[in-house]
């Protein structure tokens, strides 16, 4: 009886999670390609923007991986959890191997396989490359494809917003189902709080320290002013995490590109 109740409670949460996973790759690819093409239409230098975006994305990704590894090894949120370590004991992976593995995922040998295995980094890089090349085609050649991708992106964004309306019920069922499967509820709650603290702490280090520092050293502008100017946009788009991140990344890249033009080199 208990197992049946747990399955029924966790089922809506698992369905909600599958819906979100289903929209990740279409959202990323459509937003990236449409964004790059719109910048080209506005007269931006897509070649320079691509170089800046690639350098910025690769650098911040490696820094984020390093911060995540340090935070996890220091706080150890999974300490005391019983897991099967038969595979991990056979081979030890160093921090360098992990960071090189992230770079390898950014350039997959097969984009179909990357999409099937949810390699988000590989799909993102392919979409950026595809958008840059598409934007540089003659208008009479690339216009139909750009219009189709823009329509596709609007449809995907509408689907994502519709799915997000289900998030209160979906998240509640997902957490309730996972918690009810635990034999020791208090221990699971402590580990969950420790894990949440690790995630929030790592995000704060990266978002409030590293990114503003990079922004200041490259643009020589006050990051606090930038954050204040973007606060209204970030609040209005907070429900759509991918869209809000895209706006922030685009403005960072634009400032980097402008700084590079003044300094004669950029990244």
The 10s digit of each residue's pLDDT in 82-130 is 655 554 454 566 767 777 887 788 888 888 888 888 888 888 888 888 8
Residue 152 φ then ψ, to 5°: -60, -40
For residue 205, the enclosing domain spans 2-263
Contact by Cβ (8 Å): 99, 63: no
The 10s digit of each residue's pLDDT in 204-250 is 888 888 888 888 888 888 888 777 766 554 554 444 443 334 334 44
A 10 A CB-CB count for 229 gives: 10
The 10s digit of each residue's pLDDT in 131-173 is 888 888 888 888 888 889 889 988 988 898 898 888 888 888 8
Closest by alpha carbon to 22, among 156, 150, 123? 156
Which pLDDT belongs to residue 189?
75
Which pLDDT belongs to residue 250?
42
Confidence of residue 3 (pLDDT cuts 50, 70, 90): confident
Given a cut of 70, is residue 43 above it in pLDDT?
no
Tell me what the mean pLDDT of segment 41-56 comes to: 68
Confidence of residue 253 (pLDDT cuts 50, 70, 90): very low
More confident position, 15 or 49: 15
Contact by Cβ (8 Å): 157, 72: no
Please state, in angstroms and rounded to a whole number, the distance separating the CA atoms of residues 95 and 121.
Answer: 19
Which pLDDT belongs to residue 209?
86
User: What's the whole-model pTM score?
Assistant: 0.56
Confidence of residue 60 (pLDDT cuts 50, 70, 90): confident
Which pLDDT belongs to residue 242?
39
SS3 assignment for the chain? CHHHHHHHHHHHHHHHHHHHHHHHHHHHHHHHHHHHHHHHHCCCCHHHHHHHHHHHHHHHHHHHHHHHHHHHHHHCCCCCCCCCCCCCCCCCCCHHHHHHHHHHHHCCCCHHHHHHCCCHHHHHHHHHHHHHHHHCCCHHHHHHHHHHHHHHHHHHHHHHHHHHCCHHHHHHHHHHHHHHCCCCHHHHHHHHHHHHHHHHHHHHHHHHHHHHHHHHHHHCCCHHHHHHHHHHHHHHCCCCHHHHHHHHHHHHHHHHHHHHHHHCCCC
Q: Which two tokens stand for residue 119?
A: 């390699």
More confident position, 263 or 130: 130
Number of independent structural domains in the chain:
1
The 10s digit of each residue's pLDDT in 193-204 is 888 888 889 888
Please state, in angstroms and rounded to a whole number, the distance separating the CA atoms of residues 228 and 209.
Answer: 16
A 10 A CB-CB count for 73 gives: 9
């Amino acid at each position: 009886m208990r197992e049946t109740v747990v399955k029924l409670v966790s089922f809506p949460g698992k369905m909600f999670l599958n819906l979100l996973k289903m929209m990740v790759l279409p959202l990323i690819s459509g937003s990236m390609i449409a964004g790059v093409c719109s910048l080209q239409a506005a007269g931006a230098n897509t070649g320079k923007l691509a170089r800046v975006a690639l350098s910025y994305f690769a650098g911040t990704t490696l820094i984020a991986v390093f911060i995540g590894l340090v935070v996890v090894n220091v706080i150890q949120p999974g300490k005391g959890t019983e897991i099967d370590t038969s595979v991990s004991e056979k081979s030890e992976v160093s921090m360098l191997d992990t960071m090189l593995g992230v770079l390898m995922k950014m350039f997959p040998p097969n984009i179909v396989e990357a999409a099937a295995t949810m390699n988000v980094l590989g799909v993102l890089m392919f979409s950026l490359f595809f958008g840059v090349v598409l934007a540089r085609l003659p208008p009479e050649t690339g216009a139909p494809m750009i219009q189709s991708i823009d329509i596709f992106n609007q449809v995907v964004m509408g689907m994502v917003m519709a799915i997000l309306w289900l998030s209160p019920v979906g998240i509640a069922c997902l957490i309730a189902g996972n918690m009810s499967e635990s034999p020791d509820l208090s221990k699971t709650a402590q580990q969950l709080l420790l894990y949440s603290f690790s995630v929030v702490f790592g995000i704060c280090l990266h978002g409030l320290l590293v990114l503003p520092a990079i922004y200041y050293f490259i643009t020589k502008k006050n990051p606090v002013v930038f954050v204040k100017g973007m606060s209204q946009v970030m609040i209005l788009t907070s429900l759509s995490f991918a869209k809000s991140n895209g706006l922030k990344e685009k403005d960072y890249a634009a400032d980097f590109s402008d700084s590079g033009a003044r300094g004669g080199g950029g990244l």
